[in-house]
Amino acid sequence: MTEPFELKPAAKARSYGPLVIVLVLVLLAGLPIAAWLDMRALSDRLLARQSDDISRVINDMRNFYASDVVGRVLSRNVAVPTHNYKDVDGGIPIPATLSIELGKQISARNDAVQYRFVSDYPFAGRGSHTLDDFEMGAIKALRADPKTPQIKVTGDIFDRAIRLATPVFMGQACVNCHNKHPESPKKDWKVGDVRGIQEITIHQPIGDNIFAFKYLMAYFAAVGAVGVTFLGLQRKQTKQIRGVNQELTEANDFLATVSMKIAKYISPQIYKSIFSGQRDVQIATERKRLTIFFSDIKDFTATTERLQPEDLTALLNEYFTEMSAIALKHGATVDKFIGDAMLLFFGDPETKGAAEDARACLEMAVEMQTRLAELNNEWRRRGIEQPFRARMGINTGYCNVGNFGSEDRMDYTIIGAEANLAARLQTIAEPGGIVMSYETYALVREVVRAHPLDLITMKGISREVVPYAVDGLLQDLRQRKHVISEHATGIELFLDLDVIDPVAAARTRRLLENALAALNEKTRTAGAA
């Protein structure tokens, strides 16, 4: 049986909730990280630039002091420049001492900025200073390459510090002083030598600068709140959608179950056309050329008297099940069961053309009679004394087909005299036989052997009807030895030796001899030409 049309369940959307959550969290975490990295890089650049600026200022100040202070004093002998200027009357600090003292002042007044002037050749009278690894490495590196300042960044993610070391070059005044001074540990200085380094250390607590981005942080907090709210709403919406989908699935399953039950009451073709939207459920009919089939069980009333109701019901249901399966196999539309009778038709809602529809109906009827004969054998073995014997009628003609009834209750069926004629034809058929009208016979004459019956008239049909009793399909009869059948261009031959009488046989013999002579003449003429 054709599978009933199912309502498609609502498509289950893939759950992107976890992915969205991860994405939002990454974005929320990434923005502060990016801002932090930008602030850290900015802080490092600012530290380096500040250190460089301070270093240049101190260099300029020291050079100015050396040339315009100490140099002028030496030229006029007004004051005594010395490293221990505090212990000498009229003493003034030499540039190196100025740098040292200036570093003490800067470091004492500012925790964020420290300045130191150090050398690995200090005067003997000065306090000792232990050089750390950075200072020793910087002095060595700057003596090798004075043009490249030495920089070291230390600290953690919350407190950064940068140390900048630049070279201190020996000027002429410095060379004269150091090479002659009794406390100088080195007496061979030259102009341009790197005596030591001036080191500037700047501390930059990054955590303190976070509050400089208060608007950005407020924005992040607002975005975070919005994101959390959005995730909460989305989760709630996802839960609602999941609930709706569950309800739709349950409703769809229920409708599918109901639709499969409904399919048992109507023809599969009609069921499919309705549920696929091809046909509207409204009162409407159209006139079509159909091939109508009607069957009835002979002496059904007498059979019911011999069987118990339960046995009769089982037997009738088995009969209808087998016949319906054959009908659907050949594409018939099952209209209705009327007691023990069946009304079927071909040509709506699907058709292959009038000739093919008629042929399918004839082949269906023949197969039904064959199957019923097999069922009778089985039923006899079960103890059924007189099984079913069906009479079948087939007619082809125009009928009104569609929905008939009221707005509240309608039935898909056919009406018209041609449908009634099919029912009348089955009444004159022999039990186990098939009778068809001439209109049907004209469409299937190439595939069937049939003989005409007496003319009949019927109310509602003005013409006389020529019934044809079906003897069998030609493809089945060809398998019999006494049947000669040939259909081709220019020839229509069917000869059944089992049923032909002597008079007809003599006449047929003469006709065949004349036909053979004509064929021989045609062959000689064609050969001579």
Least confident segment among 171-180, 275-284, 470-479: 275-284
Evaluate whether residue 452 is within a structural domain.
Answer: yes
Evaluate whether residue 12 is within a structural domain.
Answer: no
Tokens of 25: 């969290």
- Domain end, chosen from 169, 184, 205, is at 205
- Same domain? 103 vs 252: no
Evaluate whether residue 13 is within a structural domain.
Answer: no
- Same domain? 115 vs 168: yes
- Same domain? 243 vs 297: no
The CB density around residue 485, as the number of other CB atoms within 10 Å, is 15
- Same domain? 105 vs 146: yes
Task: Give the SS3 label for residue 390.
Answer: strand
- Same domain? 357 vs 459: yes
Distances in Å between the Cα of 437 and the Cα atoms of 25, 146, 362, 400 are 81, 122, 12, 19
pLDDT in tens, 418-450: 999 999 999 999 998 999 999 999 999 989 989
- Same domain? 72 vs 86: yes
Tell me, rounded to whole angstroms, the distance of Cα 380 from its chain centroid: 58
pLDDT in tens, 179-196: 888 888 888 989 989 888
Least confident segment among 78-82, 186-190, 310-314, 451-455: 78-82
Q: Is-cis flag, bond preceding 502, omega within 30?
A: no
pLDDT in tens, 100-113: 777 666 666 656 67
DSSP strand pairing (284-297 vs 390-405) = antiparallel
pLDDT in tens, 446-464: 899 899 999 988 777 777 8
Evaluate whether residue 99 is within a structural domain.
Answer: yes
Instruction: Report the number of distinct structural domains present in the chain.
Output: 4
Rg (CA), the chain: 58
Given a cut of 50, is residue 405 above it in pLDDT?
yes
The pLDDT value recorded for residue 274 is 66
Given a cut of 50, is residue 352 above it in pLDDT?
yes
- What value does the mean pLDDT of the chain take? 79
Evaluate whether residue 272 is within a structural domain.
Answer: no
What's the pLDDT band for 214 if we cut at 50, 70, 90? low
Given a cut of 90, is residue 330 above it in pLDDT?
yes
Q: Find out whether 295 and 391 touch, Cβ atoms under 8 Å.
A: yes
pLDDT in tens, 254-294: 877 877 777 666 666 666 666 665 666 666 778 999 999 99
pLDDT in tens, 4-59: 444 444 444 455 567 667 767 776 676 677 677 767 766 676 667 667 667 766 77
Residue 114 belongs to what domain range? 18-205
312-321 mean pLDDT: 91
Evaluate whether residue 276 is within a structural domain.
Answer: no
The pLDDT value recorded for residue 76 is 54
Evaluate whether residue 525 is within a structural domain.
Answer: no
The pLDDT value recorded for residue 411 is 81
Tokens of 290: 């159909």
- Same domain? 35 vs 45: yes
How long, in residues, is the chain? Answer: 529
216-240 mean pLDDT: 80
- Same domain? 476 vs 498: no
Evaluate whether residue 277 is within a structural domain.
Answer: no
pTM (whole model) above 0.85: no
SS3 letters across 200-268:
EEEEECHHHHHHHHHHHHHHHHHHHHHHHHHHHHHHHHHHHHHHHHHHHHHHHHHHHHHHHHHCCCCCH
The pLDDT value recorded for residue 264 is 65
- Same domain? 257 vs 369: no
- Domain end, chosen from 450, 465, 480, is at 480
Least confident segment among 49-63, 173-187, 330-344, 507-521: 49-63
- Same domain? 437 vs 492: no
- Same domain? 129 vs 200: yes
- Same domain? 476 vs 489: no
Write the DSSP assignment of 44-95 as a string of letters. HHHHHHHHHHHHHHHHHHHHHIIIIIIHHHHHHT-SEEETTGGGSTTEEE-H
What is the domain-level CATH number for residue 445? 3.30.70.1230
Tokens of 35: 């801002």
64-71 mean pLDDT: 65
